[in-house]
Amino acid sequence: MPTTVAGILITVLVAVPGLLGEAIFQAVLGRDWREKEWRSILRLVAFSVVGVTFYSLLASDLGWPPADHLVPRTYERIQAGVVPIVSLFPSYAGHAVGGAVSGGIAALAVLLSGRLSPRSPFPAAWDDFVRTYAANRWVVVGLSNEEVFAGRIANADLSVPAGERDLILAEPCSYDPDTGEYRALNYQVMFLPAPSIYSIAGVFDAGRDKRIVAVGDPLFEKENTNAKEEYPEASTT
């Protein structure tokens, strides 16, 4: 742990660009509430290191000031009045931008890897369902009291445990079990607290969805009940 004023200041200055990168990373992918704290801290440090590396490479080519805000001797010179503290602003601003850019690049890399593999880039199946599969689609929500509603997801709590996944349903329609139809209600939006939600499903859209099995078709062929006739047992003499 740093004990000098310069060391503490440098630690804080290093953390902020990493925080910017982490904020962008989580904004794109969401936050995994199950993640260990040390992994988040390690990622924060990595974004800051990559960010200052980006800046230093550009600074050497473009003639920008070096990243002196990471050099302890710089703060001794500032205290002595040799250089003004505002002289550190350009390099630190570049470091911060580099940290933010590194977080964005990392998030895009995770999204790309998700497209190339069966693994979701999002931290939970619920986040993937809301952000990918249920986007711009009608959904059917079954409640724990056996009521069923259809509508569109206007808002949902993401990156939270199952017990906190509240939902706002737009243009809610109530299911009538007697007629088998959904009827639009006199509501524009409906708030559904997480404990009341039993299940949720995205409705098939023929204009955008491709299926292996057509709606209503059996998945497997029926078992042949005439197997004995087609494959008679060997007769004995």
Per mean pLDDT, which range of 29-38, 157-166, 204-213 is the poorest?
29-38
- The residue-averaged pLDDT of 58-84 equals 81
Q: What are phi and psi of 180, to 5 degrees?
A: 70, 25
Per mean pLDDT, which range of 65-79, 85-99, 218-232 is the poorest?
218-232
DSSP class of residue 65 equals P
Is the pLDDT at 74 greater than 90? The verdict is no
Q: HSE (CB half, 13 Å, CA atoms) of 228?
A: 2
Residue 120 token pair: 């979701």
pLDDT per position as a tens digit, 109-147: 998 988 787 788 888 889 999 998 999 999 999 999 999
Q: What are phi and psi of 175, to 5 degrees?
A: -85, 130
Residue 165 token pair: 């996944």
CATH topology of domain 125-202: SH3 type barrels. (2.30.30)
User: DSSP 3-state assignment of 109?
Assistant: helix
Highest mean pLDDT among 51-60, 68-77, 226-235: 51-60
Domain boundaries, the chain: 5-116, 125-202
For residue 231, name the pLDDT band (cuts at 50, 70, 90): low
pTM over 0.75: no
Question: Max alpha carbon distance in the chain (Å)?
Answer: 114
